[in-house]
Amino acid sequence: MLNNKIPPVLVVLFFAGLMALIAHYSVIDFSAFITYIAVIFVGIGVIFCIAGVVSFRLAKTTVNPNNPEQASELVTKGIYRISRNPMYVGFAFILLGWGVWLMSIWAIICIVGFIAYITQFQIIPEERALTKIFGQQYVDYMNRVRRWL
């Protein structure tokens, strides 16, 4: 025998009303929280970008993504141990931070478009060029380290 004499639909309506009252009289401002989260994502993105550039500079090779054929050394150390494209990962995090700051799920979803575009028109051509330059060494690196994260 059930101890509950109140129909569940009425319980739902009661709690829905209670939630509405609480929400109305206890407005919580999430703008500071959103700002902190956005800054954290942008910060992570900047760190990825800087770490990628620093790794290239230390290896004395080109940072220019438009001329991958000018690469003089295959960089596999530092941030390049966890991502083959840390600068693009960094850009994606920066866009994520921007989307969070805008507080728009639709804006955040645009990151999928960025990732698809960069993968198709930048990363895949770079991978072809680097495979021509570094051969099996680059193929082995691609098998060890993910394209993004």
Residue type for 17, please? G
**Domain boundaries defined on the chain:** 30-144
Angle of helix 86-102 versus helix 105-118 axis, rounded to 10: 160
Residue type for 101, please? W
% the chain with pLDDT above 70: 97
73: nearest Cα among 61, 83, 55, 85: 61
What confidence score (pLDDT) does residue 49 get?
97
Classified as helix, coil or strand, 29 is coil
Residues 122, 57, 148, 133, CA torsion sign? positive
What confidence score (pLDDT) does residue 1 get?
52
Q: Give yes or no for a contact between 45 and 96, defined as CB atoms under 8 angstroms apart.
A: yes
pLDDT along the chain (149 residues), means of 10: 72 88 80 93 98 95 84 94 97 96 94 97 94 97 97
Place of tokens 């700051």: 101
For residue range 37-71, what is the model confidence (pLDDT) as tens digits?
999 999 999 999 999 999 999 999 988 888 888 88
Rounded-to-integer distance, Cα 17 and Cα 106, Å = 30
Return mean pLDDT, the chain. Answer: 92
Rounded-to-integer distance, Cα 144 and Cα 136, Å = 12
Model-level pTM? 0.83
